[in-house]
């Protein structure tokens, strides 16, 4: 079985999760990308985005789960991530069924 460990910083993990969420409806809006870029302090967006594009859904979930565990996220830290995810979903003024399903799925997986 493939190892899905990453060497991401917490910032890179956050970028990856937000990019993953922006793609819930198979389309990244300009508002979503602008929101992600406004929430990060590094210039790693393109590097992480390129990695995301190479991963399938299973790989993405495994990388997120592994990185959350490796960084020792508390329940409060995970809750803060979910608040940012929800804000991202609403950044383009729509919260469609695909985004809602991804939010619920990640909630089950990460909490």
**pLDDT by residue (tens digit) across 12-37?**
999 999 999 999 999 899 999 999 99
**Residue 1 maps to a domain:** no
pLDDT per position as a tens digit, 37-68? 998 887 889 999 999 999 999 999 999 999 99
The CA–CA distances, whole Å, from 27 to 22, 35, 74, 99 equal 7, 15, 30, 11
| Model pTM score | 0.91
Domain tally, the chain: 1
* Residue 46 burial (CB count, 10 A): 9
Domain that holds residue 36: 10-110
Q: Residue 3: inside a domain, yes or no?
A: no
């Amino acid at each position: 079985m493939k190892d899905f460990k990453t060497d991401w910083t917490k910032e890179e993990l956050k970028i990856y999760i937000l990019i993953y969420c922006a793609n819930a409806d198979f389309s990244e809006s300009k508002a979503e990308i602008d929101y992600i870029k406004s929430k990060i302090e590094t210039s790693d967006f393109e590097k992480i985005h390129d990695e995301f594009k190479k991963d399938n859904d299973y790989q993405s979930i495994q990388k997120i789960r592994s990185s959350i565990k490796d960084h020792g996220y508390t329940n409060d830290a995970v809750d803060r991530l979910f608040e940012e995810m929800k804000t991202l979903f609403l950044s383009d003024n729509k919260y469609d069924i695909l985004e809602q399903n991804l939010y619920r799925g990640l909630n089950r997986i990460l909490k």
